[in-house]
Chains A and B, each alone.
Chain A
């Protein structure tokens, strides 16, 4: 079945450290891919999206993601994490026939001072 997975349930990093959140997809063709962030008690906010072309995508809040076809991955990165980045992060892709979206289970990020 086509799916989006996020192997890490919870990650803790120190403020100022670099961050990489993993996302893997299982689709036959190259899908459109998205990363969202959710602060506690809030809705989801779009960080960035990949459609085609350049495999390194820049987003808001200093985040970037790299699409790697050979690894079926779309990992989210940030060179220096801020305390305000503590949140839950979701990777997503359109469902196979484009009628809705498939979300990964999410990765909760904690940031140590």
Chain B
């Protein structure tokens, strides 16, 4: 079955440490997205990528970095510069190619906590 796989499901970070969240999709989608979800705040866009080797900052990109070396993979690194990283992180993809009528498909999320 096609879908989006996020790993790990739970992740713990020590102060001053960088951590990387994995997101892989086998839907052959061009566009991929990272969202952060905090209680009562809905989804906030961190980064998105429309094509391999290209990505754009979303609304809350500070303290995060991404790469898009392969179409199926869009890892997110939470750096030590992100002072409040505890949240639920969601990865999504869509078959956009400039067509905005395509819905997003979501992974099951990674919950990141600070030790």
Distance between B40 CB and nearest chain A CB, rounded to angstroms: 7
CA distance A106 to B90 in the complex (A): 15
| Known contacts A99-B50, A103-B42, A105-B42; A94 and B106 CB within 8 A of each other | no
Query: Which of B14-22, B69-77, B79-87, B95-103 is the contact stretch?
Result: B95-103
In the assembled complex, B64 has its CB within 8 A of some CB on chain A: no
Q: Which residues of A contact B43 (CB under 8 A)?
A: 90, 103
Q: How far is the CA of A6 from the CA of B25 in the complex (A)?
A: 30
* Cβ-closest chain A residue relative to B35: A103
Q: Are A44 and B106 in contact (CB under 8 A)?
A: yes
Shortest CB distance B77–A (Å): 20
Q: Please name all residues of chain B whose beta carbon is closer than 8 Å to the beta carbon of A36 when the two chains form the complex.
A: 106
Select which of A41, A46, A100 is within 8 A of B109 by beta carbon.
Answer: A41
The 7 closest A-B pairs by CB, nearest first: A43-B106, A98-B100, A94-B100, A105-B42, A44-B106, A103-B43, A43-B108
| Known pairs A36-B106, A105-B42, A106-B42 / 14 extra A-B pairs, C-beta < 8 Å | A32-B101, A41-B108, A41-B111, A43-B90, A43-B92, A44-B92, A51-B101, A98-B99, A98-B100, A99-B48, A100-B45, A103-B42, A105-B40, A105-B41
Number of interface residues of A (CB under 8 A): 23
Most buried by A among B50, B101, B109: B101
Interface centre among A32, A94, A104, by most B CB within 10 Å?
A: A94
Q: How far is the CB of A90 from chain B (nearest CB, A)?
A: 7
A4-63 residues at the B interface, CB under 8 angstroms:
9, 32, 34, 36, 41-46, 49, 51
B100 touches A45 (CB 8 A): no
Residue with the greatest number of chain A CB neighbours at <10 A, chosen from B42, B58, B90: B42
A43 and B107 within 8 A (CB): yes
Q: Which residues of B contact A49 (CB under 8 A)?
A: 101, 103
State how many angstroms separate the Cβ of A48 from the closest Cβ of chain B: 9
- Which residues 15-34 of B sit at the A interface, judged by CB distance below 8 A? 33
